[in-house]
């Protein structure tokens, strides 16, 4: 399939692919096995200017958009979703500043994000606030020129590794969802520490920790937009980044197909390669068709967002939902085709299958995506009357 | 610090096949790449520049399409490139190549260090580095696995040997060749790739570098390739197991079976 990418988009894809092949594939099993953060790979990604991709030119970036980010994330995910998550989470954490930050905040923080000096994390989830983000209990109280943060964020990607954290906290409990605000917290701020590193089923190269705020004082200039905008900022951030999770699904699905087909061509049973069996052929046909359909949707939604559209909530939810459901199915089938070998750690597909699972869960569980899609459909139907 | 890197464009040997009838390499459709050892040379030059400041110039001799190798060097971070390209250079062996390169380097002018890969994966001679140093009249050190320090006009480096390594001090300018143990080459940067894409590489001809026509190309080459052939494939091999007595018995049995004893 030709997606009519520009010469520059192809250049970006080839560069991400080169990083995947040269820097990620040789170490992915070790990173997975040892729960090891991919510091050297992040350095290579920074050196290749890929962090600059999603930062506007006036802040030292390259000013590329969703499609370029999706292409990059897809290529990285073909090799390792743990690495891709680490990279993509930096974009996720940066969106609140990109979308709602002041000129001063952008000037202060974005250039270091572009060079890769600052990795970023997004802190929304808490023990009692998962799919129901309104359950947030972390508080931020204005005292003089500072906000004082208290509470604990849970399962935060890039926790401990990132330099910058965009945090959603409650500034006025009486206002419900309208009482949340978004803040920028720098690593090293007194009162800001990290909990234990989580031991996960998949994406084990990525770091996941608690963020603990204990009378953590940050300058009031670190409030993003206005008080009360936290929930809107969080939702817009997730709307903008979700397509990228769909792209991760497309990447890991394609990675699993590529592994399975090169294995199956050489795997002989009943005196012939198993690719000669129609049972296997039809599985491959379905896997590739689903993956291509997911890729088409992801690219189309990314292009729609890049066209300047505002109403892309449903579209990005569909890209996330479909891309990640496909990835779970395709990686599971890849393990099935490879049989016992697929189940062993000598081959990468069992890891791909474990990695794919998180894509259906994080950045809005796929059940929540269905809510978003259906509610938007109903709203539209109601308006049409 | 001005560092010159010598690069060579080679066929990707992992893709090359041999024509069994003519015993020559089938180069058609084989992608060209930068000689892998030269990627370590480029990386080391970039690291030295990052540490000491200055600039990196990549130099190659080859047909016009060798400009692609120079563009790749730019995508990795090289500041400047020089392509030596002229029909008169064609058919050059290592001696004539080294002559052209040394003339090109003279024309570039001031430099502190020349770095090249230890050898090219197509010819595998490892001669162009030392010959070029000799023609430039500067010190040559092969097989560098680590540059310890550069201080003014002096450099201390580790030279990889069969057993262990030597610590070598050399005056600068010098020419060194590097082994793969020296670093891990980076991937290109997006800004570098964009710069490389719009780069116009102009070639220096034999006349531009003031070369003696008897010293370049086929005419300047004292060696000739008479025949190219692949090594004869090894026959089937088998490693015998067991203790010495068992192995001897097994070997004797097999030799008898083949009527060799």
pLDDT single digits (tens) B23-55: 666 777 788 999 999 999 999 999 999 999 999
CA distance B131 to chain A (A): 33
What residues of B are in contact with residue A48 (Cβ under 8 Å)? 186-190
- Assess B180–A contact: CB distance below 8 Å, yes or no: no
Q: Is B14 on the interface with A (CB under 8 A)?
A: no
For residue B43, the distance in angstroms to the closest alpha carbon of chain A comes to 13
Domain at A169, CATH number: 2.40.110.10
> Over the stretch A310-326, which tens digit does the pLDDT of each residue have?
999 999 999 999 999 99
Please indicate, yes or no, whether residues A220 and A253 belong to a single structural domain of this protein.
Answer: no
Same domain (yes/no): A257, A343: yes
| Record: contact A18-B188, CB cut-off 8 A | yes
Contact B189 A8 (CB under 8 A): no
Tell whether A94 is covered by a domain: yes
pLDDT tens digits along B119-165:
998 888 899 999 999 999 999 999 999 999 999 899 999 999 998 99
Size of interface A-B (CB pairs under 8 A): 36
ipTM of the complex: 0.86
With respect to residue A1, please indicate whether it lies within any of the assigned structural domains.
Answer: no
CB-nearest partner of B187 from A11, A15, A62: A15
Q: Are residues A174 and A202 in the same domain?
A: yes
* CATH code (residue A336): 1.20.140.10
> A332 and A345 in one domain?
yes
Same domain, A306 and A267: yes
- The answer to whether A49 contacts B189, with C-beta atoms less than 8 Å apart, is yes
B190 touches chain A (CB under 8 A): yes
| pLDDT of B23 | 62
Where exactly are the structural domains of chain B? Answer: 2-204
What residues of A are in contact with residue B192 (Cβ under 8 Å)? 49
B186 Cβ under 8 Å from any chain A Cβ: yes
* Contact flag B191-A49 (C-beta cutoff 8 Å): yes
Residues 6+ apart with CB under 8 A from B4: B56, B57, B58, B59, B105, B108, B111, B113, B114, B115
- Contact flag B193-A15 (C-beta cutoff 8 Å): yes
**Is the same domain home to A103 and A191?**
no
pLDDT tens profile B53-90: 999 999 999 999 999 999 999 999 999 999 999 999 99
Final residue of a structural domain among A198, A230, A262: A230
For residue A248, CA distances in Å to A43, A241, A244, A306 come to 20, 11, 6, 18
Specify which residues B154 forms β-bridges with: B151, B171
Same domain, A237 and A379: yes
The pLDDT value given to residue B121: 86
Q: Determine the Cα–Cα distance for residues B205 and B104; give it in Å rounded to an integer.
A: 10
Q: How far is CA B120 from CA B139, B160, B233, in A?
A: 21, 18, 23
In a domain, A68, yes or no: yes
Give B33's strand partners. B10
Whether A142 and A205 share a structural domain: yes
Q: Say whether both A85 and A105 belong to one domain.
A: yes
Task: Tell me: do A39 and A103 sit in the same domain.
Answer: yes
Residues A373 and A240 in one domain: yes
Q: Does A40 reside within a domain?
A: yes
Pick from A109, A92, A117, A242: nearest CA to A167: A92
Q: What is the pLDDT of residues A49-75, one digit of tens each?
A: 999 999 999 999 999 999 999 999 999
User: How much is the pLDDT for A158?
Assistant: 98
Residue of A nearest to B186 (CA): A44
Contacts of A23 in chain B (CB under 8 A): 187
Fold of B2-204: Rossmann fold (3.40.50)
Looking from the CA of A322 toward its CB, the CA atoms found within 13 Å total 21
Alpha helix stretches (DSSP H) within chain B: 36-52, 67-76, 94-108, 128-136, 190-198, 244-257
Measured between CA atoms, the residue of chain A closest to residue B192 is A48
Does residue A224 fall inside a structural domain?
yes
Q: Are residues A200 and A128 in the same domain?
A: yes
CA distances in angstroms from B185 to B38, B54, B157, listed in the order given: 10, 19, 19
Which among B187, B191, B197 has the least Cβ separation from residue A19? Answer: B187
Q: What's the pLDDT at A385?
A: 74
Domain span at residue A158? 121-230
Residues 6+ positions from A87 with CB-CB distance below 8 Å: A42, A45, A50, A51, A72, A73, A76
Tell me which of A70, A85, A119 is where a domain ends: A119
Active site residues of A: 363
Domain count, chain A: 3
Q: Which chain B positions have a beta carbon within 8 Å of A16's beta carbon?
A: none
Whole-Å CA distances, A320 to A70, A233, A278, B6:
11, 19, 31, 48
């Amino acid at each position: 399939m030709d997606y009519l990418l520009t010469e520059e988009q192809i250049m970006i894809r080839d560069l991400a692919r080169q990083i995947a092949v040269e820097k990620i594939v040789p170490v992915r099993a070790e990173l997975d096995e040892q729960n090891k953060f991919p510091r050297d790979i992040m350095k290579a990604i920074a050196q290749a200017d890929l962090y600059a991709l999603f930062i506007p030119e006036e802040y030292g970036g390259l000013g590329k958009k969703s499609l370029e980010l999706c292409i990059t994330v897809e290529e990285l995910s073909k090799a390792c979703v743990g690495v891709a998550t680490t990279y993509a989470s930096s974009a996720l954490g940066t969106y609140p500043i990109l979308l709602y930050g002041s000129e001063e905040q952008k000037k202060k923080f974005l250039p270091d994000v572009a060079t890769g000096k600052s990795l970023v994390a997004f802190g929304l989830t808490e023990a009692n606030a998962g799919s129901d983000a309104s359950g947030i209990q972390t508080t931020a109280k204005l005292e003089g020129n500072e906000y004082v943060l208290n509470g604990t964020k849970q399962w935060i990607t890039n926790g401990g590794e990132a330099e910058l954290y965009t945090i959603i906290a409650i500034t006025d409990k009486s206002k419900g969802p309208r009482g949340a605000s978004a803040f920028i917290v720098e690593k090293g701020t007194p009162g800001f520490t990290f909990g234990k590193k989580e031991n996960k089923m998949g994406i084990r190269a990525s770091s996941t920790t608690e963020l603990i705020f204990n009378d953590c004082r940050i300058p009031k200039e670190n409030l993003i937009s206005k008080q009360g905008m936290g929930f809107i900022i969080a939702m817009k951030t997730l709307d903008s980044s979700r397509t990228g999770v769909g792209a991760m699904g497309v990447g890991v699905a394609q990675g699993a197909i590529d592994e399975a087909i090169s294995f199956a061509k050489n795997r002989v049973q009943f005196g012939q390669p198993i690719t000669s069996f129609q049972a296997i052929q039809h599985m491959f046909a379905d896997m590739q068709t689903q993956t291509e359909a997911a890729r088409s949707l992801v690219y189309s939604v990314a292009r729609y967002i890049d066209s300047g559209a505002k109403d892309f909530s449903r579209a990005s939810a569909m890209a996330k939902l479909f891309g990640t459901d496909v990835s779970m199915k395709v990686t599971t089938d890849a393990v099935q085709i490879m049989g016992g070998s697929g189940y062993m750690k000598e081959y990468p597909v069992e890891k791909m299958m474990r990695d794919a699972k998180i894509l259906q869960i994080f950045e809005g569980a796929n059940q929540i995506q269905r809510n978003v899609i259906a509610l938007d459909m109903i709203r539209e139907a109601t308006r049409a009357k | 610090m001005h560092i010159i890197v010598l690069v060579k464009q080679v066929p990707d040997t992992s893709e090359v096949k041999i024509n069994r009838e003519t015993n020559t390499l089938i180069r058609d459709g084989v992608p060209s790449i930068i000689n892998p050892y030269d990627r370590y040379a480029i990386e080391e030059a970039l690291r030295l520049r990052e540490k000491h400041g200055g600039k990196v110039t990549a130099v190659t001799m080859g047909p016009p399409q060798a400009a692609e190798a120079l563009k790749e060097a730019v995508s990795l971070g090289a500041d400047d490139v020089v392509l030596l390209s002229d029909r008169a250079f064609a058919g050059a062996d290592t001696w004539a190549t080294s002559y052209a390169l040394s003339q090109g380097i003279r024309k570039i002018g001031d430099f502190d260090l020349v770095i090249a890969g230890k050898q090219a994966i197509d010819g595998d001679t490892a001669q162009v580095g030392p010959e070029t140093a000799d023609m430039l009249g500067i010190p040559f050190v092969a097989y560098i696995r680590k540059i310890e320090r550069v201080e003014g006009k002096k450099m201390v480096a580790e030279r990889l040997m069969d057993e262990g390594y030597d610590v070598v001090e050399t005056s600068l300018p010098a020419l060194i060749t590097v082994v793969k143990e020296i670093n891990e080459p980076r991937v290109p940067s997006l800004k570098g790739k964009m710069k490389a894409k719009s780069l116009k590489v102009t070639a220096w001809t034999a006349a531009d570098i003031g070369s003696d026509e008897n010293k370049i190309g086929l005419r300047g080459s004292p060696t000739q390739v008479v025949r190219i052939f692949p090594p004869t494939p090894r026959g089937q091999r088998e490693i015998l197991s067991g203790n010495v007595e068992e192995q001897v018995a097994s070997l004797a049995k097999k030799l008898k079976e083949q009527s060799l004893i």
